[in-house]
Structure 1
Amino acid sequence: MGEPNVKFGVPILDKLLPRGIPRRSLVIMVGDSGTGKSLITQLMAGSFLQRGEKVIYVCLDDDPESIVSSMESRGIEARRYAREGKLILVDAYASRYGLETEEYVAEKISSLDIHGVSSILARLADNNGIRDSGLVILDSLNSFAFRYEPSMLYDFLNMLRVSLAKKRGITTVATFHTPTQLYAEIAATLEHMADVYIIIRYHEEALEAGVAVRELLIKKAKGVPVMFGWVKFVITDEGILEAKVRKIEG
């Protein structure tokens, strides 16, 4: 731990970023719903945990139990890591609606106050000794976008970038869904705040043919070499696999 660069541990990303990324990075991953962003963040979390780094996972789009179950279906011992205090689950989903949450959840957030959430994450990092190591995941930022004007969302991201990535040296990853043109425009504005900016989308021709092929682009990665261009992949029981798509003749 403490190395200046860190790899995600997800083969398709590590291929595109052969030297990894600077540890003190804010990573933003954008794309349509269902393209695999949440799965990729869960695989990132598993990789960090397996090499002994702690992970703070903020559950914003789903309840912790669903996320833990998804991780375990991919061979990640999420419950064990949570009970050992290595996977620090923050319930900002069920708790917002007054619902009970699982005993292995480390923190409950009932209100999405951007200053409050930023302070909670800084406190969790400090209380768990996470500095120049580890990972913070927020999946997804849309919960904040529903509540706040875009300018407030930008301020929130800047707070996370300064407080977690830069000051504490914790790689910080946030996802953002782009179901409408408005959200696509917000996502485009988020790019200039990110140290690493990743876009995921469906491959249109394959989708029209009834095959769920996605493609991924690392549009920006500060300070490290990157292989540019869209890379196609599929989601299988074995994980995320790179795919080859032949041109469909008309």
Structure 2
Amino acid sequence: MSVERIVTGIKVLDNLLPNGIPRNSFIVIAGPGGSGKSFLVVNIAKQFLLRNEPAIYVTFDEDPLTVASIISSIGVDLYRYLGDKLFMIIDGYSFRIKDREGKMHIAVVEEVDPQNTEQVLYTVMQTVDRIDIRNRGVIVIDSLNEFLSYHEHHRVAEFIKNFRANIAKYRGILTLAILHTSTDKAKQLLTLVEHVADGIILVDRLIKDNTIVKSIIIQRMKGVEHKLMRLEYTSIE
């Protein structure tokens, strides 16, 4: 059986991937701070929601209220998709908050602790199985850096391998994992997992004529043709 190829709905990305990407891919989106990684994946998640496919946001860097606000700010009718059980947050941020009562947002379906990689993986597995997500939807991990705060590179790489096997491959769910490469530790992780991930997308930003310009290049994408060029853009619409 062949694996379905899908488009992201983001012009600058789809231009580089003219034949789409395999649905069962685990893709790392890497770059320095401020290069537009989170904004890119949020807009990809929006495109999935517009196709009535589920989007699960596993957040470690931001609290669920901020994630929900960002999603709403790009024109997503959040409460519609909450009602249809298409948008969900798995909260890996709020374990830090002391004396907290209840979940931080109605979109939160589970809470996890990045100090326990097995708990994170099994919680995601249980969530997608409970609502029967197979061969559709997208999962965002924002970001892998939080795991580096608690674990050595090889442990984080093992988590990525297990997540890819159980979520992307076995359940056929596109997974987008953000990696901020502003530190040597993060750069080392990227080098370590380059052969593991199905795709590596590098983003950056620069200033041209007093305008902030973003750039994107597909460093690796298994199983599909991709253009070997760097594209610059100011808008992802």
Shorter-chain TM-score: what band? over 0.9
> CA–CA distance in 2 between the matches of 1:32 and 1:61?
15
* Stretch deviating more after TM superposition (80-89 or 16-25): 80-89
The Cα shift of 1:79 comes to 3.2
Q: Deviations over 1:156-213 (max 9, x none)?
A: 000111000111111111000011233222222221111111001123x62xx54211
- Matched with 2:46 is 46
Tell me, in whole angstroms, the C-alpha distance in 2 between the residues paired with 1:137 and 1:147: 20
User: Hey, what's the Cα distance between the residues in 2 that align with 1:140 and 1:111?
Assistant: 10
1:129 counterpart letter in structure 2: D
- Structure 2 CA distance for aligned equivalents of residues 78 and 38 of structure 1: 17
| Corresponding residue number in structure 1 for 2:219 | 219
Distance in 1, Cα, partners of 2:46 & 2:135: 18
Distance 1:163 1:214, change over 3 A: same
The residue aligned with 1:234 is 234
Gaps of 5+ in 2: none
Asked whether 1:152 is paired with 2:152, we answer no
Matching residue's letter, 1:188: T
- Equivalent residue number for residue 70 of structure 1: 70
Deviations 1:116-147 (A, max 9, x none): 10000111110111001111110100000111
Maintained 8 Å contact 1:95/1:101: no
Distance 1:112 1:182 in 2: 17
Partner of 2:104: 101
> Residues 113 and 120 of structure 2 are in contact (CA less than 8 Å); yes or no, is this contact kept in structure 1?
no
CA apart distance, 1:84: 2.8
- Output one character per residue of 1:18-71: Cα deviation in whole Å (capped at 9) or x when no partner: 111011110101000111100111111111111011111101110112111112
Report whether the alignment pairs 1:190 with 2:175: no
Q: Which amino acid is 1:135 matched to?
A: V
2-structure distance, mates of 1:57, 1:198: 19
Match in the other structure for 2:128: 125
Per the alignment, residue 161 of structure 1 pairs with: 164
Q: 1:110 to 1:189 in 2, by over 3 A?
A: closer
Q: In structure 2, how many angstroms separate the alpha carbons of the residues matched to 1:58 and 1:50?
A: 19
Deviates more, 1:106-115 or 1:122-131: 106-115
CA–CA separation in structure 1 for the residues paired with 2:83 and 2:90: 13
Q: Which stretch of the first structure deviates more once superposed, 222-231 or 83-92?
A: 83-92
- Give unpaired runs (5+ residues) of structure 1: 242-250
2:179 is the counterpart of 1:176: yes
More relative contact order, 1 or 2 (CA 8 Å, 6+ apart): 2
| Aligned-partner Cα distance in 2 for 1:3–1:24 | 7
Q: Percent identity?
A: 30
How many residues are aligned here? Answer: 233
Query: TM-score scaled by structure 2?
Result: 0.92
In 2, Cα distance between the equivalents of 1:80 and 1:147?
36
Question: TM-score when scaled to structure 1?
Answer: 0.88
